[in-house]
Amino acid sequence: MRKPVTLVLTILMIFLFNLPVWAGVPMDTVQANVNKVLDVLRDPKLKGEAAKEIKKKKLRAIYEQMFDDVELGKRTLGRNWNSLSVPQRQEFVILFRQVLEKAYIDKILAYTNEKIVYERETMISGTQAEIQTKVVTASKVIPITYKVILKSGSWKVYDVVVENVSLVLNYRTQFNDILSKNKPEELLEILRKKVKGQQ
């Protein structure tokens, strides 16, 4: 009588251990993407001003894998997201990504081998998690939290909190202020000018 039970358990164990890891652990996903960024920044072949555009191109590709642009845009606009038409939303998502690049790319490129520590992963729900990390420099420790969401089998970042300042909430305040006095088209025009360096 025990043989069939043992056989069933053995088959079950083989099946379980050979299952693909569904979406991966949120922290592992964030760490893998951050490591890709670090690989680009540390690449000895990409030193100097001449390699800057190549680095940017590589970092853009990683950003696309790491972030959920639509979720980021939707949460940044909050209730105002619904006041934009579908084409306006699509343009906003593209423009906002370009604005973020202009604001942060030089800071990222200025990385000089600071230590990154991955502290803990907190599951907020079955599809949302927060990854607490810190960047250790010679003079201070900078806490950074990545907020991630599970979509289509992948964990994607939708907010980054640096020293208790949320990227989403910071820009939401600015955009809410603009949209309280202007139509969505005015916000898009402001972002277009920012991207072109006119503001």
Closest CA to 27 of 125, 109, 119, 152: 119
Domain residue ranges of the chain, discontinuous segments joined by +:
24-195
Q: What is the mean pLDDT of residues 42-58?
A: 90
Cα separation, 84 vs 77, in Å, equals 10
Q: What is the mean pLDDT of residues 123-150?
A: 94
AA letter at 151: K
**Bigger pLDDT: 193 or 4?**
193
Q: Give pLDDT, residue 166.
A: 97
Closest CA to 101 of 109, 90, 91: 109
- In this prediction the pTM is 0.82
**Bridge partners (DSSP) listed for residue 161:** 145, 166
Cα separation, 167 vs 92, in Å, equals 16
Is 1 buried (19+), middle (13-18) or exposed (0-12) by CB count in 10 A? exposed
Q: Give pLDDT, residue 113.
A: 81
Instruction: Give me the sheet containing 165-166, strands edge to edge.
Output: 115-123, 128-136, 141-151, 154-162, 165-166
CATH superfamily of 24-195: Tgt2/MlaC (3.10.450.710)
